[in-house]
Structure 1
Amino acid sequence: MRLVYVFDAYCGWSHGFSRTLLEITARHPDIPVEVVSGGLFTGTGRVPIGRFGYIRGANARISELTGAEFGEGYERLIAGGAFVMDSEAAARGVAALRQAVPERAAELAAALQNAFYIDGHSLSEPDTYRTVAEAAGLDADTVAAAFQAPQAHAAAEADFRRAAQLGVDAYPTLLAVDGDTVTALARGQATADQVDERLAALRASRTPRF
């Protein structure tokens, strides 16, 4: 069995789920985690953030339910309403970080969201990936170069296809994949204890009884 986490780095609810994700991975270090980027803001969806009138209300709700923080850097970045969230660029960044240390993909996905939602760094800028990489003890130049490489575009598109193949169209979604069986453990908001209960029930249902 493995966990598949489908998220979008520009999704506030994914930011709110980060604590749960990190707690689950800490509790179950034996279960591999695959991180897949969704394409929330792509194509014609890439518009100035000011057009999304629900953002501040949604962020307040996310904070209330999950305890997630939205920092001053983020507030400054979006204050004028002109900033454009580009999920394809963010997915390239996720791919670059994931390529560096696949086993730390969940940790780095959370760090990337903090870079945006707390520090106010654009996920379209190579320097953002240098900053995240340095903080994680990775080679910053290598990660930044990977973000800008043609392979990153292919990886982003592959992630979008993977999310669609899994039937995921809302973020975040945490899945348990066991062979051909795919089970949703969380969609949107859930605590680590709730995910653990569902995971335990899934394991119990698949344990042979004699």
Structure 2
Amino acid sequence: MKLVYVFDAYCGWSHGFTATLREVTSRHPDLPVEVVSGGLFTGSRRVPIREFGYVQGANAKIAELTGAAFGQAYEDVIADGSFVMDSEAAARGVAAVRQVAPDRAAELAGALQHAFYVDGLSLSEAATYRTVAQAAGLDADAVVAAFEAPDAQTEADEDFRRAARLGVTGFPTLLAVDGDSVTPLAHGHATADQVDERLAAH
């Protein structure tokens, strides 16, 4: 059995789920975790952030429910309003860190969300992946090269298809996958204890 974490790096609720995921993975070190990018802001949804009027209200609720932090640099990005969240670029970045450090994919997914939601860094920029890689002790050149390689786009597209095949319609979603059996453990928000209860019942 393995855990499959379907998230989007530009999803505030996924950012809020980071602490739960960290706790779940620390409680179950024997369970491999596959990280899949869901593709929240693609196609016609790639528009300036000001067009999503609900962002700040949603973030306040996320912070209240999960304790997740939103940094001043990120608040400045929201206030400016021109930033475009591009989930395709973010999925290429997730694919890049996953390629360089596959066994740390869940941890690095959280680090990418921290880069955006706390440090206000764009997940479309190679420099962001260099910063995250260096902080994580990874080969930064390898991560940047993987992000910029054509294969990254192929992997991003495959992630979006995999999320759809798993029937995931919202992020974050945590699943227990055992062969053909797929059991939902969390959708949107859950505590580590709630995930454990569902895992035990699985």
What is the correspondence of 1:48-127 to structure 2 with a 5 Å cutoff? 48-127=48-127
Which AA in structure 2 matches 1:57?
Answer: G
Distance in 1 separating the partners of 2:31 and 2:39: 26
| Deviation string, structure 1 residues 106-162 (Cα, Å, up to 9, x no partner) | 000000000000000000000000000001100111101110110000000000000
Please show how residues 110-149 of structure 1 align to structure 2 within 5 Å.
110-149=110-149
Secondary structure at 1:174 match in 2:
strand
Residues in 2 aligned to 1:129 and 1:78: alpha-carbon distance in whole angstroms: 21
Instruction: Count residues with an aligned counterpart.
Output: 202
1:34 maps to which residue?
34
Give deviations 1:34-53, integer Å, cap 9, x for gaps: 00001100011100000000
State the partner residue of 2:190: 190
Deviations 1:83-106 (A, max 9, x none): 000000000000000001111000
Query: What is the CA–CA distance in structure 2 between the aligned matches of 1:81 and 1:73, rounded to whole Å?
Result: 13
Q: What displacement does 1:190 show?
A: 0.2
SS of the counterpart of 2:69? Answer: coil
Corresponding residue for residue 150 of structure 1: 150
Query: Which is further off, 74-83 or 87-96?
Result: 74-83
**Percent identical:** 75
Q: 1:208 is matched with which residue?
A: none
Counterpart code for 1:7: F
Q: Deviations over 1:49-90 (max 9, x none)?
A: 000000000000000100000001101122111000000000
| Residue equivalent to 2:178 | 178
The AA in structure 2 aligned to 1:67 is G
Structure-2 separation of matches of 1:79 and 1:144? 29
Q: Which has the larger radius of gyration?
A: 1
Unaligned runs of 5+ in 2: none
Distance 1:128 1:10 in 2: 14
What is the TM-score with the length of structure 1 in the denominator? Answer: 0.95
Q: Residue by residue, what CA displacement relative to the aligned partner does 1:151-179 show, whole Å, maximum 9, x if unpaired?
A: 00000000000000000010000000011
1:190 is matched by which residue type in structure 2? A
Secondary structure in 1 matching 2:168 = coil
Letter in 1 for 2:198: R
Equivalent residue for 1:44?
44
Q: Distance in 2 between matches of 1:19 and 1:51?
A: 29
Distance 2:196 2:73 in 1: 34
Tell me which amino acid in the other structure corresponds to 1:94.
V
CA RMSD of aligned residues (A): 0.5
Q: What residue is the counterpart of 1:201 in the other structure?
A: 201
Ranges in structure 1 where 5+ consecutive residues have no aligned partner: 203-210
Normalising by structure 2, we get a TM-score of 0.99
What is residue 169 of structure 1 aligned with on the other side? 169
